[in-house]
Structure 1
Amino acid sequence: MNSINKARVLFAAAIGLGLSGCISLGAAEPPESLITLSSTAVAPAGSGAETGSEGSVGAIAVLTPETPAKLDVLRVPVNVSDTEIAYLQEAVWIEKPARLFRRLLGETLRVRGGALVLDSDDTPILASQFVRGTLIDMTFDAPSGSVVVRYDAIRTNADGVVTSRRFEAREDGIAPEAVFVGPALNRAANTVASDVADWVLSGE
């Protein structure tokens, strides 16, 4: 093996060792704890809403977002490069991200607008507005050391007008460990949920 090829092998090995402690391409031992999303906006006990009252925005149905395959799992995806995805070791969601984000957005809308929000799996027959979309990313990006939450929202109002908008939040300087990535994803998801709630309630 010549010196150039030897250098390439050593470089590849170093990269592999650097990532091997943080991400996994296969099965791993169960984590000691699970991660979830918790809303920074929580409706107090006894609060409620109704439709038909003066100033009411009507019932809002929040539907479970679509997701790409990388998010349709209980693991936290890691963008290793533009063409490679792995999963962060010890970072396991208590429930799939799409359902967690749906409830987070529903709670944020409930608190921010005082609206009657339907965010369960029951058919939202009473809703006058619908919020759906695609949760594109809830991911750790290894090259930039950041977490990214990206959501393409689609709003249908009471008149049947459909509007879409992309929302994104990012936190940089995050170490590739579950203890740091989990809280950072929660903060970013709350930022996106707050921005989506403002957009839905404003009617813009």
Structure 2
Amino acid sequence: MKKFAPLLLAAPLAAMLSGCISFGGKPPKTPFLSLQAAEQIKPGDVQTAASGTTVTVLFPTVPHELATVRVPVHQGENAVAYVKDAQWVEAPPRLFARLVGDTISARTGRPVLSYRQSQIDPGAVLSGELRRFGVDADTNQAVVVFDALLVQGDDATKFQKRRFEARAPLAEVKPELVAAALNTAANQVAVEVADWVGK
């Protein structure tokens, strides 16, 4: 009986501790938000490329307000709040870079590589800064502003920089409506970026 005593004591102790210990934060009241590329390559499509024709899409840098999974709301010139109960499934730079990469691949036919894949042959490298990715409360719009930097080939001294901006109307600041409007604006930017990169 003695060797079973620790097990008998462990069960009540675990039950007591379960009320004190919490793993992870509380889930949001609404589902996590995500982005979906309107244009994607079809399952089973095989892409081949000559050296230098691939595109590497890096995660864009972001200002502090976007270094979170929350959705910023700009009010006036200097005030920033966040959409209540809205949370991205992962950081905006990752979501945006993946959407842009999918769109480039679908529209141009050029294989798009991640940073690790690009060690073999980076081709053109697309980076930049995602400056705005949220809501403009003054105009009731979702806003995406991306300052893109494109380096073609191995010569990093030759590059192009261009600002892309898109807005989508927003009837009400609710998580699901904000996500849909930002998805629309992000896809518009991605199409313009893809056409620019594909030239």
- Change beyond 3 A, Cα 1:76–1:28: farther
Counterpart of 2:188 (choices 181, 184, 191) is: 191
Mark the structure with the bigger radius of gyration. Answer: 2
Give the Cα separation in 2 of the matches to 1:187 and 1:171: 7
In structure 2, what is the equivalent of residue 106 of structure 1?
A: 101
Note if contact 1:74-1:92 (Cα within 8 Å) is conserved in structure 2: yes
- Change beyond 3 A, Cα 1:159–1:57: closer
| 2:137 equivalent to 1:142 | yes
Counterpart of 1:73 (choices 68, 71, 81) is: 68
What letter matches 1:169 in structure 2?
A
Provide structure 2 residue ranges, at least 5 long, that are not aligned to the other structure: 1-24
In structure 1, what is the equivalent of residue 153 of structure 2?
A: 158
What letter matches 1:46 in structure 2?
G
In structure 2, what is the equivalent of residue 60 of structure 1?
A: 55
Note if contact 2:33-2:176 (Cα within 8 Å) is conserved in structure 1: no
Q: How large is the Cα RMSD of the aligned pairs? A: 1.8
Q: Secondary structure at the match of 2:102?
A: helix
How far is 1:172 from its partner?
Answer: 2.5
In structure 2, what is the equivalent of residue 14 of structure 1?
A: none
What letter matches 2:42 in structure 1?
P
Give the Cα separation in 2 of the matches to 1:137 and 1:102: 14
What letter matches 1:122 in structure 2?
R
In structure 1, what is the equivalent of residue 33 of structure 2?
A: 35
Q: TM-score w.r.t. structure 1 length?
A: 0.79
Give the Cα separation in 1 of the matches to 2:87 and 2:29: 7
Relative to structure 2, which stretch is displaced further, 174-183 or 88-97?
A: 174-183
Counterpart of 2:42 (choices 25, 41, 44) is: 44
Note if contact 1:59-1:129 (Cα within 8 Å) is conserved in structure 2: yes
Provide structure 1 residue ranges, at least 5 long, that are not aligned to the other structure: 1-26
